[in-house]
Structure 1
Amino acid sequence: MASTANAFTVGDYVVYPKHGVGRVIELQSEEIAGMQLELYVLRFEKERMTLRVPVGKVEAIGMRKLSSDKTLKQAMETLKGKPKVKRTMWSRRAQEYEAKINSGDLVSIAEVTRDLFRPEDQPEQSYSERQIFEAASSRLARELAAMEETDEPAALNKILDVLREHAPQYYDNAEEA
């Protein structure tokens, strides 16, 4: 457990599963309910949100450092893959997609992004499909931007370029899951 205590330092980018990429802006020691707690103070610029996370809860929450280059490469390869079209009820699929996004796992987020991407010449998406696609692609873009030291719009364009390049060859006969 001691290794987790010093896992992050001020200035580090971290991934908090439910909120995406944030930055450690401060380490605090505070007394709460009679207990002395060490806290990471995280700032999520996109949401204009500050979050305080007890050091001892980091593992349970699933907070992690940015993905490795290998994981990023896997995620980008996932975007090039064949979209999986599921024939289950939309509400169940939406829950599965949300769970993947909130898992914080970059490859799972890339799967959702790939599966919900629609090229300009393809049929319209429902509002909720579009919302989930945008949440997944934004989460993926923020981590990519932090890793490549660029901005989110540039990272999102890179993701969309990969999807546009590879989606047409798969879209007509998408794999059923």
Structure 2
Amino acid sequence: MTKKKVLVKKVKLPKKNILKSLKKKEKLISTKDDKINQKSDGLRISKSNEIKPEIKKVKKQETEKREYKVKDYVVYPKHGVGQITEFKKINIGGIDVETYVLKFEKDKANGMVPVNKQAHLRPLATINQVNKCITILKSKPKIKRSMWSRRAQEYESKISSGKIYELAEVVRDLNKGDDIMVDQSYSERQLFEKAYERILSEFQIVMGVSLEDTQKKLDKALKRNSDAQQNTPITSERKTDLQVQSEEPTTEIQE
């Protein structure tokens, strides 16, 4: 028997197709490597091989609640400096709520703030903050040309905020030196006195000096004559803000 020869034809692929397929494979491999590099070490690698750190948004951490103690001085924005006299549980709507009992010596009034609402309170300023306030008082006042009603609202909101630097700005901007009675309207005078009294009472406790010495320091920064101001003493804030009748202390609950 004769053996049949099987002829196998070799198919030649064009070189161009082989090169294209190789290039595609190289691209796929390089893109995979890039992705791996991007994930590693939190770094992004650009085409120019420059390593750039990946910036991630960090969530703001909640500040820890401050624990106040009896006899601590705190600032309640609406009424100024008060002292914690005791912790007291009261029943509100069938729920027992623990509160701070605050005594506002200047206004002859008491107030209550729930412990879980202590965000309404802030600690006294530090000595560094007091020094910065003195610098603000010495700086040039910012005079606005807007209507007085609008400016009065801005000043009132700054005072009600309880922020020490904003209080200093109100005192600085409304200060008229020794001519305060001549150049200021009654409403301007009231706002100035309110902010001045808030700063005065807080500075006195922080600095640990007498009220007279504290006032001299403030008046020196404001370029006011303390002796002349004694003839026109700073009046206390209106007690209607705390709904105080006669001289009896009242209780206010901040829910």
TM-score by length of 1: 0.85
Aligned equivalent of 1:118, options 170, 176, 182: 176
Shifted more, 67-76 versus 103-112: the winner is 67-76
Count of residue pairs the alignment pairs up: 162
Which residue matches 2:67? 7
Which residue matches 2:249? none
Aligned equivalent of 1:95, options 134, 145, 153: 153
Which residue matches 2:195? 136
Deviations 1:122-141 (A, max 9, x none): 75211111111110110000
Q: State how far apart, in whole Å, the 1-side matches of 2:198 and 2:178 are.
A: 22
CA contact (8 A) 1:138 1:156 kept: no
Q: What is the one-letter code of the residue matched to 2:221?
A: V
Q: State how far apart, in whole Å, the 1-side matches of 2:63 and 2:127 are.
A: 26
Query: 5+ unaligned residues in a row in structure 2: which ranges?
Result: 1-61, 225-255
Deviations 1:80-134 (A, max 9, x none): 1001111111011011001111111111100000111112257521111111111
Q: What is the one-letter code of the residue matched to 1:68?
A: T
Query: 5+ unaligned residues in a row in structure 1: which ranges?
Result: 166-177
Higher relative contact order (CA 8 A, sep 6+): 1
CA contact (8 A) 1:137 1:156 kept: no
Which residue matches 2:107? 47
Larger radius of gyration: 2
Secondary structure in structure 2 of the residue aligned to 1:72: helix
Deviation at 1:31, TM superposition (A): 2.1
Among the aligned pairs, what percent are the same residue? 43
Deviation at 1:3, TM superposition (A): 4.8
* Residues 1:33 and 2:96 are matched in the alignment: no
TM-score by length of 2: 0.60
Deviation at 1:152, TM superposition (A): 3.4
